[in-house]
Each structure stands twice: as C-alpha cells, then as structure tokens.
Amino acid sequence: MIKLGVPSKGRLMEETFSWFASRGVHLKRTESKREYAGYVKGVQGIELTLLSAGEIPTELNEGRIHFGVTGSDLVCEKLPNWDQNLEIVKSLGFGFADLVLSVPRFWIDVDTLDDFDSAAEAFREKHGFRLRIATKYHYLVREFLKSAGVADYQLVDSQGATEGTVKNETAEAIADITSTGETLKANHLKILTDGLIHKSEATLFKSKSAFFRKEQVNAESKFLAHILSD
Amino acid sequence: MNEQKRIEIEADRILRLFSNSGAQIVQPDVLQRADTLLDLYGEDIRARAYVTSDPFNGEMMLRPDFTVPIVKTHMTGETGNETARYAYCGKVFRRQEKNSERASEYLQVGYEIFDRTDVIKSDTDVFCIVKKALGDLPLRVATGDIGILMTAVSSLKTTSSRQKALLRHLWRPQRFLAILEKFTNEVSLSTERFDGFQAEKSFANQAKEIGLRSKSEIIERIENLLQDSKEAPISTTELEVINSLLNIGDKCPQALIKLKDLLPDMPALGSAIEKFEKRLSALDNADVDLSSIDFEASYGRTSMEYYDGFVFGFYSENHINLPPIATGGRYDALTKHIGKGREIPAVGGVVRPDLIIQSKGFEDND
C-alpha cells in the first residue's frame, strides 16, 4: 500500500477530502468520528493516514509516508533543506495563509522593517532587554529578519493565541499566519508593509526517501493519473 | 593510526605549545547559560548553538566558543591578576541549519591575552603563536582591522545618532550600506509621513495602546526622526572614502599605501592607520612575510559580532573549501560588556586540529 498522510482535523482536512473527491479519490474516515483512521475508495492500493498537519513534514522526510498534504509553511519551517527529501506534486489551491510580522496598530512610527529595527534598538536601550516577537515559526522568522538585517530582537515561543501576547505583555510584536487579517485587527495589530515572511498554501508533497516497491509504483501512477487529471 | 587519534595528538601538541609560552590552562564548562550568549549575540546564536533546558537553571547552551566563558571568568576576577594569558583545548558545538556537511562538534585549541600595556605586542604574539602552531602547512592568510572601520564611521561629519546607527550595523554589510545611502540623501524620505505630526492629534484615530512599548516612546522616536531629517546629509566625499575603504583588499604593504591615500579626505583616520602600520612593523620584526599576507578592510565583518580591532584567519591552500583552520581577533568591547564597568584590552585566536589533519590529507593525496 502507498501511504497518504492527510491532516486529521479542521478545515484543512475537509478541504483536502473534497479536493481529492472531485478527482475521483474518495477519502473516508471510519464511522467513529473520534478514531483517527480512514480508508480510500476509487483508486486501489492507497492507504489513508490521518496525522497532525505539523507532523506530516517529518513523516515525509523520514519516508514513513509516501505522499502527504500540509501547508508549505510547516514544511519550510520544520525542514530547512526540505527539497532534499521532498518534492512538490501539486499546490492545491486552498489553505492560503501568509506568515507576517505584525506590531500594535498604535505604533504610528513603525510601518516598515527599517522602522522596526530602529524601534527595537530604542526599546532595548529603554527596557534593558531585546524586543520580543512571539511566534511558533522560529526558523522562518529568524532567517527573514537576518536577511533583512534586523537586530536587537528576540523570539519567544507561542504555540497558540499568539495575537493576544502583545496585550498580555509577553511580547511586543508577533509573527503568525493570517488569511484575512481579521484576528490581527481585532487584537489591535497591523502588518508591516514589508513584513511578509512566507506565503503558504495547502500542498501535496511526495517523499523522495520513502521506498516504493514494484506494485506500489503501479498504484502510484494510477493515483497520480487521477489527481493530476486537471 | 585512525583520524580521531591523529586529531587528538595534534590538539595536544598545540596546547603544549600554547601553555609553554606562558599561558595558564583553563577548562570552561561545556554548558553555558543561554541568557549571556543571547544577550550578546541576539537570536542568531540560536541558529548556531544547541539550546538545552534545565528545570533549575533555565536555558543552557552547549558552548559555541570559548572566548565568552573565558572573558566571564576573567572579568569576575576569579583568576587573580588583571594581566593574563590563557590556553585551552576542548570541543565546541555548532548547529548547522543549512550547511549539513559542516561538523557540528569539533576540537578547538586556543590562546587568549588580557593585557593593557602593549596591545600591538599582544596582537602580534597571538598571531605569531597561531602561525607557529600551523607549522609549514600551505596557507592563505587574511587579516583585517575592524578598528579602522569604526574610526572611519566615528569621524564622519554627522550627528552622533547617525554614527551610532552605522556602528550598530557594521556587522550587517547590506544594512550598513542602506543606512549610509539614506544618510547621504538630502531629504529623508522616511519622515514625510510625519509631516504635521502633533503628539495629541496624531494618535486620535489610532487603535488602543497595548503592550510594553508606550506612547511616549513612540513620540520620542518620531521627534528624533523629525530632528534627524533636518540634519545635513553625509557628504559624497566622505561616502566615497567609506566605499573605497570597504573595497581595500590587497597584500599588507600595498594596502597600507591605499589606506594612506584616504588620509587627505579623512584625516581622522590617521591614528588608526598609524596603529595598523605599527602592527605591520611588529609583525615584520617577528619575521612574518608581510608581502604574502592579505589585508581586507571588510574582513571579519560577517563573523561573530564581538571583534573590534585586528582580525585574522588562516585558510588551507590545499583545500580551499575548508572553513578557516585558525581565526582570531581583538575584542576589547566584549570585556567591557561582560565586565559591567570593568574593561581590559584582549585578543585571542583558535586553531582547529581536525582541519589541520584534513588539510594534510589533501597534501598526501597530491
């Protein structure tokens, strides 16, 4: 069997299911909604594996699944050299989200990274510590700020409700995923004009490190014929 | 003999050479407090060092270098004398996020001098002992002097806040040039948006005040920017001097001539160039062949942020893709930063015995 890893819950799972369904590959969960198990109809030799979206990159990298659907942001964050063991089969056209750097909207002196850098310098001088950016995308944010030459900041880990960290005074700025910008707005934040760190989209990846036996190669080509039909 | 054994023998030989020239052997801990290193290097250190956590001591790092722990020990006065020479040998640990072919742990053998009497002599001593440790390996030697660059920036005819902004980004060459460019323009474009700024009115329609950075900090920054936009730009003559300086890359004697050519347009460089010339003659007296040594004014700018004077690196001629076999430099400001008020001029260098063996390996194959 060829293992296909798909996010185990939420909109990303639903949209993935309907994307495959419209191409004749029907992914089904077992009757119990609580059990993380499923099966595939419409094409032979494919096994459905439901996983946390954040674990799919590593599973692909290790070759424990042959194909996987997840956000490109998670792949780039978790696997700096992702193209060594992964290749993109197709961008799926949903799950669009931007990883952006945001600051309080009332910071009327900060619109660009240039401003951000100089505000960070003044902040450090005044408060005695580096300006804090809350994020769970440590690698992507650090690389981005490094190439932009921003100094005097520090990253603090935030695995959820990141938009609230500024008000709670555990961070001064945030770097998080946004699709409409509504949550940022509701939390009195604004995106820096040049603060786009990564454009993410739900993507089907193939593992280059997973082993394909002969019968699996046949199943693979039938599977790909379905999903690459449009 | 296996490679590991050869590396250890090589390390041992170098450590003995260092300690025989009057250095005290020290052994800093492998685990270092992360906050000291983070405060010093910023977030970039996380990309280069292994962070571990400890429920009692908080975040710790596997030492990414020896210099910081040695400066810490020295500045707290634990070792006694103000003047000291240290030698050490041990592993350092470096995460390799991008370049997975590079070693993530390797031996370093190093030598550090804390001495305020004669900094030129200290520079020369460190350079010569590192050179001696490398023996007759075919090497390319590169040197630089961050002090010359700092003097040039500090002597620009502009405000101290502009000088400070440039000095802060000396280690980020792209950003440095962008700022320099900005300060050379007549009108500061970045302040047009604050035309008609009034502390009370301008905030009126803006969102709620949240977070630690306060309204008064924002007002202060805007006022500083408006003030700064009225300042005269840095002259194109001075801009050209900085650009020519950054582009100097030649053998030492020719580099000295090129540096002196800059003097008419920036006389303030005089003392820094004089120091450079003195160092050259001290090296010459120590039988270093200056005509074979490169001087690059920008050398050392993209490395760790603490060097602020003489810097050097030795590279394998056998295998040009190897990382530098030995590096070093002066870090006076680091002692001040860590010493919290106390300071002492300091300079040091490290050798990587594994790369000596690798470089020799290439020689044998030829």
- Residue A192 above 70 pLDDT? yes
Together in a domain, B114 and B184: no
> In the prediction, which pLDDT does B305 show?
66
Give B1's pLDDT tier (boundaries 50, 70, 90): confident
Does A117 touch chain B if contact means CB atoms closer than 8 Å?
A: yes
Residue A188 with chain B: CB contacts under 8 Å: 207-208, 210
The domain that holds B87 is classified in CATH as 3.30.930.10
Residue A146 with chain B: CB contacts under 8 Å: 44, 47
Does B178 touch chain A if contact means CB atoms closer than 8 Å?
A: yes
Nearest to B212 among A117, A127, A142 (CB): A127
Give B193's pLDDT tier (boundaries 50, 70, 90): confident
**Domain total in chain A:** 2
Interface confidence: ipTM more than 0.90: no
Best interface-test mutation with B: which of A84, A102, A108, A187 has the largest number of B CBs within 10 A?
A108
Give the number of beta-carbon pairs within 8 Å between A and B: 101
Together in a domain, A181 and A106: yes
> In the prediction, which pLDDT does B80 show?
66
DSSP A15: H
Which residue segment(s) compose the domain that B82 sits in?
1-136+330-366
Give A229's pLDDT tier (boundaries 50, 70, 90): confident
Q: Determine what percent of chain A is predicted with pLDDT higher than 70.
A: 100
pLDDT digits (tens, 9 = 90+) for B223-236: 998 888 888 899 99
Q: Which residue has the higher pLDDT, A60 or B204?
A: A60
Bridge partners of B17, per DSSP, are none
- Residue B183 above 50 pLDDT? yes
pLDDT digits (tens, 9 = 90+) for B288-310: 999 999 999 999 887 766 899 99
Nearest to A123 among B174, B178, B213 (CB): B213
Together in a domain, B165 and B74: no
> In the prediction, which pLDDT does B186 show?
66
DSSP A228: T
Q: Supply the mean pLDDT for chain B.
A: 91
Q: For the residues B72-82, what does the mean pLDDT come to?
A: 81
The domain that holds A126 is classified in CATH as 3.40.190.10
Together in a domain, A47 and A22: yes
Together in a domain, B335 and B234: no
pLDDT digits (tens, 9 = 90+) for A32-42: 777 777 889 98
What's this model's pTM, rounded to 2 decimal places? 0.87
Give B335's pLDDT tier (boundaries 50, 70, 90): very high
Is the Cβ–Cβ distance between B65 and B39 less than 8 Å?
A: no
Together in a domain, B92 and B195: no
Q: Determine what percent of chain B is predicted with pLDDT higher than 90.
A: 70
Give B189's pLDDT tier (boundaries 50, 70, 90): low
Does A139 touch chain B if contact means CB atoms closer than 8 Å?
A: yes
Give B216's pLDDT tier (boundaries 50, 70, 90): very high
> Are residues B175 and A145, on separate chains, in Cβ contact within 8 Å?
no
Query: SS in 3 state form for chain B?
Result: CCHHHHHHHHHHHHHHHHHHCCCEECCCCCEEEHHHHHHHHCCHHHHHCCEEEECCCEEEEECCCCHHHHHHHHHCCCCCCCCEEEEEEEEEECCCCCCCCCCCEEEEEEEEEECCCCHHHHHHHHHHHHHHHCCCCCEEEEEEEHHHHHHHHHCCCCCHHHHHHHHHCCCCHHHHHHHHHHHHCCCCHHHHHHCCCCCCCCCCCCCCCCCCCCHHHHHHHHHHHHHHHCCCCCCHHHHHHHHHHHCCEEEHHHHHHHHHHCCCCCHHHHHHHHHHHHHHHHHHHCCCCHHHEEEECCCCCCCCCCCCCEEEEEEECCCCCCCCCEEEEECHHHHHHHHCCCCCCEEEEEECHHHHHHHHHHHHHC
Together in a domain, A21 and A33: yes
**Strand (E) or helix (H) holding A46:** strand A46-51
Together in a domain, A20 and A74: yes
**Domain total in chain B:** 2
Which residue segment(s) compose the domain that A119 sits in?
97-199
> Are residues B211 and A166, on separate chains, in Cβ contact within 8 Å?
yes
- Residue B365 above 60 pLDDT? no
- Residue B366 above 50 pLDDT? no
pLDDT digits (tens, 9 = 90+) for B108-122: 999 999 999 999 999
> How far does the CA of residue B316 sit from the closest CA of chain A (Å)?
28
Does A97 touch chain B if contact means CB atoms closer than 8 Å?
A: no
Together in a domain, A195 and A212: no
Together in a domain, A148 and A163: yes
Together in a domain, A60 and A12: yes
> In the prediction, which pLDDT does B304 show?
64
> Are residues A123 and B203, on separate chains, in Cβ contact within 8 Å?
no
> How far does the CA of residue B40 sit from the closest CA of chain A (Å)?
10
- Residue A216 above 50 pLDDT? yes
Q: Is residue B141 part of a domain?
A: no
Does A81 touch chain B if contact means CB atoms closer than 8 Å?
A: yes
Residue B168 with chain A: CB contacts under 8 Å: 121, 151
Nearest to B217 among A112, A126, A166 (CB): A126
Together in a domain, A122 and A174: yes
Together in a domain, A6 and A78: yes
Q: How far is it, in rounded angstroms, from Cα A42 to Cα A223?
A: 9
Together in a domain, B6 and B42: yes
Q: For the residues B245-268, what does the mean pLDDT come to?
A: 96
Together in a domain, A128 and A44: no
> Are residues B206 and A138, on separate chains, in Cβ contact within 8 Å?
no
Together in a domain, A165 and A114: yes
- Around Cβ A128, how many Cβ atoms within 10 Å? 8
- Residue B81 above 90 pLDDT? no
